[in-house]
Amino acid sequence: MTTAEAHNDTATSPTAVGSGTAATDKFKNERVSADTPPERVAAIAKDALAALNQVVLDHKVTYPEYRVLKQWLIDLGEGGEWPLFLDVFLEHSVEEVLAQSRQGTKGSIEGPYYIANAPALPSVATLPMRDEDRKITPLIFSGQVKDLEGNGIAGAHVEIWHADDDGYYSQFAPHLPEWNLRGDITVDDDGRYEITTIQPAPYQIPTDGPTGAFVAAQGAHPWRPAHLHLIVSAPGKASVTTQLYFRGGDYVDDDVAMATKPELILDPIPGDDGKNHVSYDFVLDPA
């Protein structure tokens, strides 16, 4: 099966190749740059290669193992899984560097499935969802966006995206509507919001591609705990990219992406209305 055929096949059964290709295509279209001076590039490259070479020496890596590594790296690229692999296994350290300069809400990794320009929604809103999604326990997620002094911030945005009950993200699984379970909420004049969505489920990172093979070869598991993805922003403030998890949920203490933090655990309360209710306030640092 070619990559294109595998991508098309996701219409009925999403695959790692399908979502990996979609993540790579999205990233390639963004064309990023970082203005890193040559001296810093040299220092980082030197240390990165030194660390890798030391691993080879420490573990006495053999030629057959080295060749398997080369083949696996080729597979990773051809499968379009570089964004997936890096976001799962490396991004949490980059985020940790950023977090060292922040006092407000703790951040977490963005992951490969963010899409900009989600539908604009008012401060009290329901995310776009399918009839199938409406059968899942609703989650009423409310709170306030505040500055470091505790003042609500009018005009702040809460961008939210998360997987459905099968673990798939819209635009990375073609059987889903384009903006399913995605939205860009503008808070009210006090910085408050109330979002109706569904209780997400834990999901596996794709297991049928080279990232899945990497996990399986170690005898490890590929699961992420249930989570909401968020980017909270406001004029004059530093935006925060984060995730929120659910207390007591599977894999909260054993996330394959190592992206959970104690400050990011929600405690939803089942209401008499058959819905889960939870509140979380976001605090933004100055820009």
Tell me the residue nearest to Fe ion as measured from the CB.
Answer: 111
Question: Which CB, 14 or 111, lies closer to Fe ion?
Answer: 111
Question: Which CB, 23 or 153, lies closer to Fe ion?
Answer: 23
DSSP letter (8 states) at residue 237: B
Question: Which CB, 123 or 260, lies closer to Fe ion?
Answer: 260
Residue indicated by tokens 């329901």: 126
Question: Which CB, 111 or 128, lies closer to Fe ion?
Answer: 111
- 74 Rama class: left (phi>0) / alpha (psi -120 to 50) / beta: alpha
Strands (E), the chain: 120-121, 124-126, 138-147, 157-161, 182-186, 192-198, 203-204, 223-224, 228-233, 240-246, 265-266, 269-270, 276-279, 282-284
* Closest among 203, 173, 159 to 22, alpha carbons compared: 173
Token code pair at residue 243 = 């995730």
Least distance in Å: CB of 42 to Fe ion? 35
Least distance in Å: CB of 141 to Fe ion? 16
Least distance in Å: CB of 50 to Fe ion? 33
Least distance in Å: CB of 227 to Fe ion? 6
Site for Fe ion in 76-115 (CB under 5 A): 111
CB 275 within 8 A of CB 239: no
Size of the site for Fe ion (CB under 5 A): 1
Least distance in Å: CB of 71 to Fe ion? 28
Least distance in Å: CB of 204 to Fe ion? 11
Question: Which CB, 128 or 191, lies closer to Fe ion?
Answer: 128
CB 86 within 8 A of CB 24: no
Question: Which CB, 153 or 181, lies closer to Fe ion?
Answer: 181
Site for Fe ion in 35-64 (CB under 5 A): none
**Phi and psi of 245, rounded to 5°?**
-115, 180
Q: Enumerate binding residues for Fe ion (CB under 5 A).
A: 111
